[in-house]
Amino acid sequence: MEKPENELGVLALFAQQCQKDGWEIVSVQVGFPDLVIRNEATGQEYRAELEFAASSFKSHRHDPRKVDLIICWENDWPDCPMTIWALSNGQKEVIRELPKLEAENLYLRLENEYLRSTLKGLKSELEQKIPLPKLSRGIAMTQEEFLALPDAASRTPKEVMEACGISQRSAYRWLAKAGAQGQ
């Protein structure tokens, strides 16, 4: 195999190359980390995670405290503090142990990035207002129904007047009440 197309291909390619490079695959598992490998010269074992691209380690939300190196096809995470072996160019760094504090900081940074992106998506969903129903067939929204809306206080008086069939003065009173409830 010359070029893998996915993570399993990376495993197959590494399996082909590891013995001639002085490494042995001790175990393979479905869960994280994917492999335990052994340096045949020293007998030292290392936990390895396979990825097609090194940056997938982040998007898969793996814990850097529980792995010693990333084995990938391409290293698209140049500032990664972990050891990365990129098979595409034969790059094999010396495996260095990530100090516990540095591993903890990396883990927290990756979790923070994930949570920020998740919250950003949720925020944009929440910012899209739910349209108020228009007054139809004489059926208006009651004050109780209006105040139950999660974004009632952010509505304009015109929206409230149209949806609830009330005067501008009443709309301002309802909005004031909604604002007081939201605090």
Give the pLDDT confidence of 2-12 residue by residue, as tens digits. Answer: 789 999 999 99
In DSSP notation, 45-85 reads: EEEEEEEEETTHHHHTT--GGG-SEEEEEE---TT-SSEEE
pLDDT digits (tens, 9 = 90+) for 40-58: 999 999 999 999 999 999 8
Contact status, residue 10 vs residue 34, Cβ threshold 8 Å = no
Determine contact, residues 42/94, Cβ cutoff 8 Å: no
Q: Could you report how far apart the first and last alpha carbons of the chain are, in Å?
A: 63
Cis geometry, peptide bond prior to residue 64 (ω within 30 degrees of 0): no
* Residue 131 located in a structural domain: no
pLDDT of 155 higher than 60: yes
Residue 130 inside a domain? The answer is no
Inside any domain, residue 135: no
Same domain, 147 and 73: no
Instruction: Give the model's confidence band at 127: pLDDT under 50 very low, under 70 low, under 90 confident, else very high.
Output: low
> What pLDDT does residue 152 have?
85
Residue 119 domain-assigned? yes
- Give the three-class secondary structure for 164: helix
Do 80 and 160 belong to one domain?
A: no
**Signed CA dihedral, 86, 90, 91, 96: sign only:** positive
- pTM for this entry: 0.60
Q: Are residues 90 and 17 in the same domain?
A: yes
Residues 102 and 28 in one domain: yes
Residue 71 lies in a domain: yes
- Containing structural domain, residue 82: 7-123
Are 106 and 160 members of one domain?
no
Decide if 136 is inside a domain. Answer: no
CA–CA–CA angle 175, 180, 183 (5° rounding): 125
Report the DSSP pairing between strands 83-86 and 69-74: parallel
Letter for the amino acid at 120?
A: K
Over 60: is that where the pLDDT of 157 sits?
A: yes
The predicted pLDDT at position 172 comes to 92
